[in-house]
Amino acid sequence: MLMARQTWWRWALVVVALSAVCAGCSTLGAAQQAPVNPVGTADLKPTQPDPSAGLVTVRSGFDVKKYPALAILVFPVTDSGVMSKEEAKLTVSIPPYFQLQIVQRLRATNAFARVDLVKEGDPAPNGGGLLRLEGRITRLAAGDDTSAWVPFSGYSRLGDRMKAQIETSLVDAQTGQVLAVTADRREAPNSGFQTAESYVEESFQAMARDLVLFLERLAKGEVARSN
């Protein structure tokens, strides 16, 4: 009887551990959270909750169909907080990584006839029928991978949380007018099953995915405009 109970408990612990792993695999990166103090761009500030992109505001009268082309610029990191050596490296690697994620995902949707990747250092393109997607990474904290799953207790946060926040703007490339703005944030402790770097990358993959979902809906006229 005692051995049977011990065996049962071992299997129970295995099931809980596997459940934790599967739970970590079911989502991409850190959980979406409400953006903290988004600033916006020009006279637009993201205030309207969006099912994909966090908070958004779209200028009244903005017709995406007038713009067959979209140019994606690199999002610089503007977080002025103290960073570790690993986080300092991420400020260099994440902007082009995030930009490429957006470009690849957006091209796959066919929401725009042309999607251009603007390399860092190149001048911002301008001209009629062209939108520019600009933005900045306002928060980038890698956290660490020392959090662990404790059976029957959930996550035990042994280190700092991963935090990432972006703000974006869609700009008429000919007039310079800001037509839409968004703000999105991801924040959570690392599950302990991956490195801090890969967790940050997955979180930016998720933000790219959800931003593209918003842009798809915007192109289809499914996003409300501000009054």
Looking at the domain assignment, is residue 71 inside a domain? yes
In a domain, 111, yes or no: yes
Question: Residues 6 or more apart from 185 whose CB is under 8 A from it?
Answer: 32, 33, 34, 35, 36, 54, 139, 163, 164, 165, 166
Is pTM beyond 0.85? Reply is no
CB-neighbour burial class of residue 97 (10 A; exposed 0-12, middle 13-18, buried 19+): middle
In a domain? residue 42 = yes
Query: What amino acid occupies position 16?
Result: V
Q: Can you give the pLDDT at residue 172?
A: 98
Amino acid in position 42:
A
- For residue 158, the model assigns a pLDDT of 52
Q: Is residue 225 part of a domain?
A: no
- Our count of domains for the chain comes to 1
- pLDDT per 10-residue tile (average), the chain, 227 residues: 52 42 58 96 97 97 96 96 90 97 97 96 95 98 65 55 95 98 93 82 97 96 79
Contact (Cβ atoms closer than 8 angstroms) between residue 140 and residue 91: yes
Note whether residue 227 is domain-resident.
Answer: no
pLDDT attached to residue 28: 80
Inside any domain, residue 84: yes
pLDDT for 92 equals: 96
Closest alpha carbon to 206 in 31, 21, 20: 31
- What is residue 12's predicted lDDT score, i.e. its pLDDT? 44
Closest to 57 (Cα-Cα) out of 167, 172, 208, 134? 167
Residue 224 lies in a domain: no
199 is a domain residue: yes
Residue 147 belongs to what domain range? 2-219
